[in-house]
């Protein structure tokens, strides 16, 4: 078989070039099965499934050997099944037989594209009223996950609405007060799809002047809070200085009450000019009772 394998390897590219690839899409993490496009002659000598010139499985009549953990070939139909597929499995898969006369024949070629499924789309709404009483709306649709995701808009039961245009994920339109219906964003790729819906009644239209007034109110509230904090802080500091009740330009010594009076005692020196205070040791004999 080693001699046949060597012959097969050398002629594989030529054999595979004779057959057009069949495009197959697979879901990431799922499984996919490649069926033979041409039933082999019962007298074939060997059958191989390959991927990027590497053997995945080899069959001799009714006995098959698998060479990759996630790949297996059915002994009766010779179909190839791949499990738990990933992006690294993208590529071309060939089924090749070696006939009794040593000729190499490609009987099946599949081109696999693995895609991650799309996530549920999210719709972001921006709506501002205009001078003529209508509401100018922008809907932006996004899908966080998925491979090669396509987005499109659909709407049902829409009345009193002018669709101004849409470009992929973004939809522009104008609503009047009597509008009704809903808008749907659809996200899809070749292996999955998902959608999100927004009814017209949930679209809140804001006046631009109202938004400006709201910002001004928030700024005034924040300024008032900061001013109140500053006043409280200044009052507290002034109260601490006044608690000593000492005249200006006078340095005074007071007993520090949290120190034990032994051979010497601690006094608190406070200077009203610079607001400093510290405890110092002072002989008991110098304290006037």
Residue 165 pLDDT exceeds 70: no
Q: Please state, in angstroms and rounded to a whole number, the distance separating the CA atoms of residues 65 and 79.
A: 13
Secondary structure tally for the chain: helices H, strands E: 2, 17
* Residue spans of alpha helices (H) in the chain: 2-16, 208-242
Task: Please give the model's pTM, rounded to 2 decimal places.
Answer: 0.61
Residue 287 pLDDT exceeds 70: no
Q: What is the pLDDT of residue 273?
A: 56
- Does residue 151 contact residue 187 with C-beta atoms inside 8 Å? yes
- Does residue 233 contact residue 226 with C-beta atoms inside 8 Å? no
* CB-based burial label for 178 (10 Å; 0-12, 13-18, 19+): exposed
Q: What is the pLDDT of residue 254?
A: 46
Residue 87 pLDDT exceeds 70: yes
Residue predicted with more confidence, 10 or 82: 82
Q: What are phi and psi of 183, to 5 degrees?
A: -120, 140
**b/e map of 188-203 (b: 16 or more CB within 10 Å)?**
bbebbebebebebeeb
Q: Please state, in angstroms and rounded to a whole number, the distance separating the CA atoms of residues 167 and 13.
A: 43
Beta carbons within 8 Å of 144's beta carbon, 6+ residues apart: 119, 122
pLDDT tens figures, 194-219: 999 999 888 888 665 444 555 567 87
Q: What is the pLDDT of residue 100?
A: 81
Q: What is the pLDDT of residue 241?
A: 55
Which sign, positive or negative, has the C-alpha torsion 59, 63, 66, 72?
positive
Which of these, 80, 74, 110, 112, lies nearest to 94 by C-alpha position? 110
Residue 259 pLDDT exceeds 90: no
Beta carbons within 8 Å of 138's beta carbon, 6+ residues apart: 125, 126, 127, 170, 171, 172
CA 200 to chain centre: 28
pLDDT tens figures, 89-132: 999 999 999 988 888 999 999 999 999 999 999 999 988 877 67
Q: Please state, in angstroms and rounded to a whole number, the distance separating the CA atoms of residues 99 and 7.
A: 12
Residue predicted with more confidence, 135 or 96: 96
Q: What is the pLDDT of residue 119?
A: 95
Q: What is the pLDDT of residue 280?
A: 52
Residue predicted with more confidence, 262 or 98: 98
pLDDT, mean of residues 131-149: 88
Q: What are phi and psi of 38, to 5 degrees?
A: -135, 125
Residue 249 Ramachandran class (φ > 0 left, ψ -120 to 50 alpha, else beta): left
Residue 279 pLDDT exceeds 80: no
CA atoms within 13 A on the CB side of 14: 8
Residue 56 pLDDT exceeds 80: yes
Q: What is the pLDDT of residue 35?
A: 94
Q: What is the pLDDT of residue 18?
A: 54
pLDDT, mean of residues 164-176: 75
């Amino acid at each position: 078989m080693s001699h046949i394998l060597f012959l097969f390897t050398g002629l594989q590219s030529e054999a595979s070039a004779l057959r057009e690839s069949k495009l197959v899409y697979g879901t990431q993490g799922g499984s996919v099965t490649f069926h033979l496009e041409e039933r082999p002659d019962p007298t074939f000598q060997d059958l191989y499934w390959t991927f990027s010139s590497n053997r995945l499985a080899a069959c001799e009549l009714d006995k098959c050997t698998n060479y990759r953990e996630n790949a297996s070939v059915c002994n009766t139909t010779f179909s190839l099944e791949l499990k738990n597929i990933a992006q690294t499995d993208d590529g071309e898969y060939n089924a090749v037989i070696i006939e009794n006369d040593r000729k190499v024949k490609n009987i099946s070629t599949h081109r696999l594209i693995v895609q991650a499924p799309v996530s549920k789309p999210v719709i972001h709404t921006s709506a501002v009223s205009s001078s003529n009483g209508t509401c100018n709306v922008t809907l932006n649709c996004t899908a966080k996950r998925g491979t090669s995701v396509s987005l499109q808009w659909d709407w049902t039961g829409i009345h009193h609405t002018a669709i101004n245009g849409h470009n992929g994920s973004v939809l522009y339109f104008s609503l009047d007060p009597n509008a009704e219906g809903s808008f749907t964003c659809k996200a899809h790729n070749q292996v999955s799809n998902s959608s999100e819906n927004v009814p017209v009644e949930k679209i809140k239209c804001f006046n631009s002047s109202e938004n400006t007034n709201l910002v001004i109110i928030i700024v005034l509230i924040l300024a008032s809070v900061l001013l109140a904090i500053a006043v409280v802080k200044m009052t507290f500091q002034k109260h601490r200085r006044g608690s000593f009740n000492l005249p200006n330009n006078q340095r005074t010594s007071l007993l520090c009450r949290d120190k034990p009076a032994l051979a010497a005692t601690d006094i608190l020196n406070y200077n009203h000019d610079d607001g400093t205070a510290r405890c110092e040791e002072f002989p008991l004999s110098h304290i006037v009772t």
